[in-house]
Amino acid sequence: MSVKGKTAVITGSNSGIGLGIAQELARAGANVVLNSFTDSKEDHALAARIAQETGVEARYIQADMSNGEQCRALIEKAGRCDVLVNNAGIQHVCPIDEFPAGKWDAIIAINLTSAFHTTAAALPMMRKAGWGRVINIASAHGLTASPYKSAYVAAKHGIVGLTKVTALETAQEPITANAICPGYVLTPLVEAQIPDTMEKYGMSREDVIKKVMLERQPSKEFATTEQMGGTALFLCSDAAAQITGTTISVDGGWTAL
Ligand code: NAD
């Protein structure tokens, strides 16, 4: 079984890891549905470019992953969902006692609760099609913690738990559910953390990358969006049919420390 002709819905995929996974799945022949909360010409052009480059059907569907009804509507509008990649995510870095409650709620909604809604909407489609893959993009922060990332670490540990439950509920069906746990990948989400950290510690950009971000990543290299796409593609392969309810770290050794 390959992903050729299957439909993959990737939440939060107009940039970064989501876009990397969409491109990799499209290159392997899957029809892809891109998503974010915006609805710009660039968003639709991105889908058109993937379609042109790979020959698959690629669509962009706007839906705000902080809203449960819109999460479910995304899957309904896709019409089919053989591969669900729950990737949409945001970050906010701040000590717990100063952490804005609104930011906490938004991170839990987008990084965790959205996956509950999309999975609930997609499983009946996968069952009907007789095959399915749920791939949740967690993080090294789904397995370990860092200070000042309370909501993010809570959401990512939560999505690892949701992954296990999804796997158990589908264990006797041709459906698997797994979480990919990236270490640092240089995407807009990570790029946005650099200026604050530079200011906070009075460091250069290079030092923030080496001494703060990659400090816990033993390889001292960022992981790449292409590697995330390749891992997602592997999870869709027959070789991965008995891999379910687990986490796959792509973190340069972070969680081995
Ligand atoms: P990114 O900012 O490039 O991408 C995040 C995506 O989510 C974007 O497409 C954005 O538009 C979308 N998004 C944000 N809010 C949304 C909403 N309300 N509704 C729909 N879409 C929304 O960041 P990224 O680094 O590619 O992150 C993707 C995922 O990977 C996240 O879940 C993140 O936590 C996880 N992750 C990233 C890293 C890293 O180092 N970059 C490491 C571990 C895990």
Which of 226, 257, 5 minimizes the C-alpha distance to 131? 5
Averaged pLDDT, 134-161: 98
Query: What's the 203 CA to ligand 1 centre distance in angstroms?
Result: 25
Is 201 among the residues known to form the active site? no
Check pLDDT > 80 for residue 67: yes
pLDDT at 189: 83
CA of 70 to the centre of ligand 1 (A): 17
Q: Is the pLDDT of residue 1 over 80?
A: no
Give residues with Cβ within 8 angstroms of 145, minimum separation 6: 153
- Each domain of the chain, given as residue ranges in start order, spans 7-184+224-256, 186-222
What's residue 202's pLDDT?
Answer: 95
pLDDT of residue 134: 99
pLDDT tens per residue across span 148-201 = 999 999 999 999 999 999 999 999 999 999 999 999 999 998 999 899 889 989
Nearest C-alpha to atom 9 of ligand 1 is from which residue? 12
> Could you give the angle at which helices 225-235 and 16-27 cross, rounded to 10 degrees?
50
Dump pLDDT digits (tens) for 68-84.
999 999 999 999 999 99
- The catalytic residue among 148, 152, 184, 201 is 152
pLDDT score at 133: 98
Query: What percent of the chain lies above the pLDDT cut of 90?
Result: 96
pLDDT value at residue 235: 98
Residue range 20-44: mean pLDDT, rounded: 98
pLDDT at 232 over 80: yes
pLDDT at residue 2 in the model: 86
Question: CB atoms < 10 A from the CB of 126, how many?
Answer: 22
CA of 205 to the centre of ligand 1 (A): 21
CATH for 7-184+224-256, among 3.40.50.1980, 3.40.50.150, 3.40.50.720, 3.30.565.10?
Answer: 3.40.50.720
229 C-alpha to ligand 1 centroid (Å): 14
How far apart (Å, rounded) are the C-alpha atoms in residues 91 and 109? 12
Pocket test for ligand 1, best of 87, 162, 251 (most atoms within 8 A of CB): 87
Interval 85-105 mean pLDDT: 97
Ligand 1 first shell, C-beta below 6 A: 12-18, 36-37, 64-66, 87-90, 110-111, 137, 139, 182, 184-185, 187-190
Q: CB-based burial of residue 237 (10 Å sphere; 0-12 exposed, 13-18 middle, 19+ buried)?
A: middle
pLDDT of residue 99: 98
Distance 156 CA to ligand 1 centre (A): 12
Check: CB of residue 123 under 8 Å from CB of residue 133. no
When the pLDDT of each residue in the chain is averaged and rounded to a whole number, the result is 97
For residue 248, which phi and psi values (nearest 5 degrees)? -120, 115
| Atom number in ligand 1 closest to CA 91 | 34
How far is 116 from 86, CA to CA, in rounded Å? 9
Whole-number pLDDT of residue 193: 87
